[in-house]
């Protein structure tokens, strides 16, 4: 197993631990154990717990950003994006959980705050671009403020990472209403 593979394996294990137990329950020994290496080996790859966490941040950002990349024909992109984020959170709830953990942690970690802000801003711009394309393509009303709508879309999708809020079908209701207001249709369940 190459040096890089091992690093990756450790980061993924840490990622899963955070998803499952939160930062509150993250234990380096547990991470090392899941990869099947000694705790000292973990420290060979990551001198401190903080360094390992930085690795998790990178992984989370990468995974999340790769979901944002617009795909398919321009007309379908907005629909696709909403669908993609929705599917992502359904199929990989760990990513949502980790993103939420990171969002909370960023309140205490300026460095992380910067990264999270960059990612959110990038997401916001991406959605705004999709909205503008859709307006241009005549699929959305031209008087729509793409900045504000992008904000409410990001907000709505984000709230889905908090199970306590999104539960009992409320996530789907919110998405359905988004579709109504946008005058477009995409599956919500």
**How many chain residues interact with a copy of itself (CB under 8 A)?**
51
Terminal-residue alpha carbon distance, the chain:
41
Q: Which stretch binds DNA (CB under 7 A): 43-51, 67-75, 101-109, 160-168?
A: 43-51
- How far is the C-alpha of 174 from the C-alpha of 101, rounded, in Å? 22
**C-beta of 95: minimal distance to DNA in Å?**
22
Interacting residues with a copy of itself between 64 and 93 (CB under 8 A): none
CB burial of residue 42 (10 Å; 0-12, 13-18, 19+): buried
Contacts of 49 (CB under 8 A, 6+ apart): 26, 28
Per-residue x/- track, 152-181, a copy of itself (CB under 8 A): x-xxx-xxx-xxxxxxx-xx-xx-xxx-xx
Per-residue mark of binding to DNA, 13-42 (x: CB under 7 A): -------------xxxxx-----xxxxxxx
Q: Rounded to an integer, what distance in angstroms lies between the CA atom of residue 58 and that of residue 157?
A: 21
Identity of the residue, 27 or 71, whose beta carbon is nearer to a copy of itself in the bound complex: 27
Residue 111 makes contact with DNA by CB under 7 A: no
């Amino acid at each position: 197993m190459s040096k890089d593979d091992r690093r990756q394996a450790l980061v993924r294990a840490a990622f899963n631990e955070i998803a499952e137990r939160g930062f509150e329950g993250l234990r380096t020994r547990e991470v090392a154990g899941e990869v099947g290496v000694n705790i000292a080996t973990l420290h060979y790859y990551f001198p401190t717990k903080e360094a390992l966490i930085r690795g998790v941040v990178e992984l989370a950002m990468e995974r999340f950003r790769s979901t944002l990349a617009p795909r398919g024909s321009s007309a379908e992109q907005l629909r696709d994006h909403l669908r993609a984020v929705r599917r992502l959170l359904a199929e990989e709830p760990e990513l949502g959980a980790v993103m939420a953990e990171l969002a909370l942690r960023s309140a205490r970690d300026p460095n992380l705050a910067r990264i999270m802000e960059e990612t959110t801003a990038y997401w916001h711009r991406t959605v705004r671009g999709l909205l503008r394309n859709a307006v241009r393509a005549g699929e959305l009303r031209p008087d729509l403020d793409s900045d504000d709508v992008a904000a409410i879309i990001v907000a709505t999708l984000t709230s889905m990472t908090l199970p306590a809020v999104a539960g009992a079908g409320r996530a789907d209701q919110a998405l359905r209403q988004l579709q109504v207001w946008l005058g477009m249709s995409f599956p919500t369940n």
